[in-house]
Structure formats: C-alpha cells, structure tokens
C-alpha cells in the first residue's frame, strides 16, 4: 500500500488524520491508462465498473453515479417519491440521506434509533407510518446492517418502498444471508475517499431490475434517450455521471477490496481490544464502543465511532485530541436539530432522545487501512488523556 507523505513530525509524533485513502500502483496504472486513452467520460470503463461491482455483490444491475448523494436522489425518484409524500428515515446519518428526500419536495419523517446498533428503530418506524407515508429509507450507519427484514415486513404490510442507504456499508452482511445492498431493494453505495472503496467522488445504485437501471442511467445523463441520441432527452435528468478516471480507480479498488475490508476489521478489533482492556486507564471507564456483531449480522467498519462517558465534554475532548496531533470529529450531529431542518420542519430538541444523546457524545477516531499499531496506541493514549481533563 502507498499513501501520501505526512507533514513533518512535531512533539510526540506526526499528526494523525481522521481518514486517508489507500491507493497504490494498480490504481495509478489504470488511471494513467485511462488518461492516455483520451476517453474520460461515458467510455467502456463505466460499464466494466458497474458489472464488476454487481458481480461482487451478487446482483443483476448497478448504475454508477457521481456521488452517493446523487444515487440516493435517483433511487428515490425511481422508487416513485413525489412532492407531498413522507419518507421515514433516521436522524443519525450524514445529512445527504434526508436532503435527497427534500430534493423531490417530500418530507423526511425522523424516527428514533436503536440504542445498541444506532440504526433506525423498527418499532418507532411502525408507529410513525401514516396516510402520507410513501416509503422507508433506512441507513446502515457506520457499516452495521440495519434491520432490513423488519423494514421489509412493514413495507409489504403498508405498500411502501424501501430504499437503502448503504453508503457506509460495503462488505457488511445480514444475518439471513445476503450482503447489505443485495436484498432486491434499490440500494445506494458511496465512494468518497473515507469509504471502504473510493473513486474520489462517486457512488453506485443497485437496481432491482433492468427497468430501474434504464431509468437511472438516463436520469444521471440529463435524461438522454436509451440509444444515447445526442439531442433526444425524453425526461428530466441531471449531470450525475461518473467519469472514466473514477471508474478506473474503482476497478482497481474492487480488485483489492477483500484486503481493504480485512484491514478495516483488524483495525476495529485493535481499537476494541485496547479501549476495553482490563488495565485501561480509568478515564476510559464509561466509554461506549461500537456494538459487536450479533445474531449473524456482520459489520463492515466504515469509521470507529465511540461515545464519550456521560458527563464528559465531547467537544473539549476533540480539542484536546487536536492539541495532541490527533484528528477526530463529532460523528454525527442529529439531522433534525440542524438549523435548516428546524426552520423548515419545526423540529425541537427532545423529540428523539436516544439519537440526541448519541449525537452529543459521539466521537470518531482516526480510522483507515495503514494506521499502524504504534499510531493506534497513540490515539488510545491521547483519548484517555483527553477524557481525563474533559470529564465533569
């Protein structure tokens, strides 16, 4: 593996970033070959990447797009969402999952999350279904599989669609067998540089049938007709295309995906071992770690997100980590309490207490293949020091 050079070391070591893409000679080879080909968009690698990704997941159809956000937008359109509809989703996610609903004039209805998995709570979803509910948009948060069997039962019972936000979950598996994204629903993956697989920017929509793929393929390309007639645009479309350079990078990353996933799982296990060890510093008491796999569900670690002990000042801990050369982030704010969603939909603090507590306490630690044991030790030591000075 090769990685960008780090800044010069100061103090107790070079700064450790929150995330870093892992690219090597094969990625460079395919990208350079594509550059030299002279065909940088709508070329053969687009179809090659789509087929390779679909084969990897064991599905029939996939459409590459410019981002996970673009994929969510097109998937919701393909599912039939319309202005005035309601789509039930989670408040603990990157904001794109809710924004994509708003793009079509629909309303995201936020339900609280499960305290263990941090995924959308099926019981809360069932209670929230109403006459204007059109569909469900669960998110596999931080790579842990959401309870899709429960959501699919609710969808069948109420004639609703399911669109899966699997942007953080490539490589995860459900207890009842299929990989995340391969259950027959529209499902969206994201390929930002911090994801399990990166194309720089990019995403993929897994489609349940050829008709859905044909629609998404057209709408990602300005609504162009299926025969690609240059001036024949038979529907509203967008510029959500993925470049040939990005597809080249994606193909190289797919070739080494097992290696990248194994490195992430090893790193997550290393963090868990250090942070839960019997002889860990007392400042780590009360720290909540990502839930372990249970019941046959298997996480594909996207990030390593802990929740600081009750009473600790999370934001002060982030500042203390930064002073020690460790990058961290408050993953993730509660979407319903963001200013846009408060003002647009009238949300108030206290509506979703589990999510709000988790959002106040969540902290993402550096997490990427190539993070060394020495660096992991340093992160854990710095976290203990930060919490020692930031606890009430």
pLDDT of the residue at 287: 98
pLDDT of the residue at 13: 82
Residue 189: strand, helix, or coil? strand
User: Using one digit for the tens of pLDDT, what is the confidence trace for 308-336?
Assistant: 999 999 999 999 999 999 999 999 999 99
pLDDT of the residue at 241: 98
Q: Which domains does the chain have, with CATH numbers?
A: 25-255 (3.40.640.10), 257-390 (3.90.1150.10)
8 Å CB contact between 30 and 252: yes
Flag whether pLDDT at 138 surpasses 80. yes
User: Using one digit for the tens of pLDDT, what is the confidence trace for 271-306?
Assistant: 999 999 999 999 999 999 999 999 999 999 999 999
Among this protein's residues, is 195 annotated catalytic?
yes
Kindly name the residue from 195, 256, 314, 361 that is annotated as catalytic: 195
pLDDT of the residue at 229: 66
8 Å CB contact between 204 and 188: yes
Distance (Å, whole) CA 70 – CA 374: 38
Q: 9 falls in which pLDDT band (50, 70, 90)? A: very low
Q: 385 falls in which pLDDT band (50, 70, 90)? A: very high
Average pLDDT over residues 74-100: 98
Flag whether pLDDT at 4 surpasses 80. no
User: Using one digit for the tens of pLDDT, what is the confidence trace for 231-287?
Assistant: 778 889 999 999 999 999 999 999 999 999 999 999 999 999 999 999 999 999 999
**Is residue 275 within a helix (H) or strand (E), and if so which, with residue range?**
helix 257-275
């Amino acid at each position: 593996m090769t990685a960008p050079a780090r800044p010069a070391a100061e103090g107790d070591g070079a700064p450790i970033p929150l995330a870093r893409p892992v690219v090597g000679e094969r990625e460079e080879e395919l990208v350079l070959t594509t550059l030299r080909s002279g065909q940088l968009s709508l070329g053969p690698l687009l179809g090659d990447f789509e087929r390779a990704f679909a084969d990897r997941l064991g599905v029939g159809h996939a459409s590459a797009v410019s981002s996970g956000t673009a994929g969510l937008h097109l998937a919701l359109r393909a599912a039939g969402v319309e202005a005035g509809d309601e789509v039930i989703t989670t408040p603990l996610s990157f904001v794109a999952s809710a924004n994509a609903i708003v793009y079509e004039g629909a309303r995201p209805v936020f339900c609280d999350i499960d305290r263990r998995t941090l995924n959308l709570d099926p019981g809360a979803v069932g209670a929230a279904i109403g006459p204007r509910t059109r569909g469900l948009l669960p998110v596999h948060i931080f790579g842990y599989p959401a309870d899709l069997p429960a959501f699919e039962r609710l969808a069948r019972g109420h004639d609703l669609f399911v669109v899966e936000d699997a942007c953080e979950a490539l490589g995860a598996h459900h207890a009842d067998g299929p990989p995340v994204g391969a259950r027959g629903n529209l499902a969206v993956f994201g390929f930002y540089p911090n994801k399990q697989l990166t194309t720089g920017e990019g995403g993929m929509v897994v489609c349940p049938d050829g008709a859905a793929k044909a629609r998404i393929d057209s709408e990602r390309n300005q609504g162009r007709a299926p025969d690609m007639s240059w001036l024949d645009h038979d529907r509203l479309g967008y510029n959500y295309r993925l470049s040939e350079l990005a597809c080249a990078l994606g193909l190289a990353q797919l070739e080494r995906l097992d290696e990248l996933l194994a490195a992430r799982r090893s790193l997550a296990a290393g963090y868990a071992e250090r942070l839960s060890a019997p002889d860990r510093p007392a400042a780590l008491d009360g720290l909540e770690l990502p839930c372990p796999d249970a019941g046959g569900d298997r996480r594909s670690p996207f990030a390593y997100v802990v929740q600081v002990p009750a009473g600790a000042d999370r934001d002060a801990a982030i500042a203390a980590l930064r002073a020690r050369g460790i990058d961290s982030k408050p993953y993730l704010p509660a979407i319903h309490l963001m200013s846009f969603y408060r003002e647009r939909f009238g949300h108030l603090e206290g509506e979703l207490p589990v999510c709000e507590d988790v959002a106040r306490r969540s902290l993402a630690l550096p997490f990427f293949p190539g993070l060394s044991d020495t660096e992991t030790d340093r992160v854990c030591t710095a976290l203990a020091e930060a919490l020692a000075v930031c606890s009430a």
